[in-house]
Amino acid sequence: MRVVIQRVSSASVTVGGRVTGKIARGLLVFVGIEAADTAADGEWLAAKLAGLRIFADGAGQMNPSVADIGGGILLISQFTLHASTQKGTRPSFNAAARPEHARPLYERFFAQLSTTLGRPVQSGEFGAMMEVSLVNDGPVTLIIDSKQRE
């Protein structure tokens, strides 16, 4: 699993004109699932995200986590995170998991993240066309891949 994390002041997602998820201060997390991913990838990422210390403390240092500040998480599925542009100019999405494999892993990751965070996580709609709005805070943007546990 690959995630792009953005620290936000606020974020929301709309599907078909209906807001399906909305947070104030917290993390906007785009997640891409590849064919080789398992539930263990989601477990590791859920723990990593909930404990990731990227919010400013009183001294302006990145010390508190989203859990520490009582922030929200907005989770968005995004298969394009596994795009390859190695050949030509049209991306290939062959590494992205097929929906029948990705959907159960996404749903399990969503549940794991809510449990680890200790409160409900907001989300978009798996496989839908979504409009995501956000106000970057910093900006702070990180990329984490469960296959490269750095």
Longest dimension (CA), the chain: 48
Torsion of CA 91, 96, 102, 107, to 10 degrees: -70
* Whether 78 is catalytic: yes
Instruction: Check 6, 30, 55, 79 and give the catalytic one.
Output: 79
The pLDDT of residue 88: 86
Domains of the chain: total: 1
In a domain, residue 150? The reply is no
Instruction: Check 6, 30, 55, 78 and give the catalytic one.
Output: 78
* Whether 89 is catalytic: no
In a domain, residue 53? The reply is yes
Give the number of other CB atoms < 10 A from CB of residue 30: 19
In a domain, residue 137? The reply is yes
The pLDDT of residue 87: 87
Domain of 81, CATH number, reads 3.50.80.10
Residue 100, domain extent: 2-145
* Whether 85 is catalytic: no
pLDDT in tens, 92-119: 998 899 999 999 999 999 999 999 999 9
The pLDDT of residue 147: 82
Sites in the chain below the pLDDT cut of 50: none
In a domain, residue 132? The reply is yes
Give the closest residue to 42 by CA, choosing from 104, 84, 88.
104
